[in-house]
């Protein structure tokens, strides 16, 4: 028979995964920022449509990663609140 401690441990384990994911997202964000800066410098002066499309795609990726961090923070808070109420 499962105990509350076991449920909390499972929630903690799940949140550890989420925390690892957040670290990976932050690392991705850092590399993405470097890529955007490097691309801006490398293609400065270019009006090529592929360059514009690439920059737009990178901006979208940045937005998605930021939103991912927001919702994972919400999920962690929700899980911690639930675990505390057990």
Binding-site ranges for other proteins (CB under 8 A): 1-2, 6-7, 9-15, 17-18, 20-22, 24-25, 27-29, 31-32, 34-35, 38-39, 41-43, 48, 50-51, 53-55, 57-58, 60-61, 64-65, 67-68, 71-72, 74-76, 78-79, 82
Give the nearest distance from C-beta 82 to other proteins in angstroms: 6
What is the rounded distance in angstroms from the CA atom of residue 78 to the CA atom of residue 73? 9
Give the shortest CB-51-to-other proteins separation in angstroms. Answer: 6
Instruction: Write the CB contacts of 22 (distance below 8 Å, at least 6 apart in sequence).
Output: 69, 72, 73
CB 68 within 8 Å of CB 25: yes
Minimum gap (Å) between residue 49 Cβ and other proteins: 9
Question: In whole angstroms, what is the distance from residue 86 CA to residue 84 CA?
Answer: 6
């Amino acid at each position: 028979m499962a105990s509350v401690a076991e449920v909390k441990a499972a929630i903690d384990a799940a949140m550890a995964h989420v925390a690892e994911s957040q670290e990976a997202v932050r690392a991705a964000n850092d590399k993405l920022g470097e890529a955007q800066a490097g691309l801006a410098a490398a293609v400065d002066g270019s009006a090529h449509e592929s360059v514009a499309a690439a920059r737009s795609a990178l901006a979208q990726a940045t937005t998605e990663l930021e939103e991912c961090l927001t919702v994972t923070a919400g999920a962690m808070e929700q899980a911690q609140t639930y675990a505390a109420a057990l």
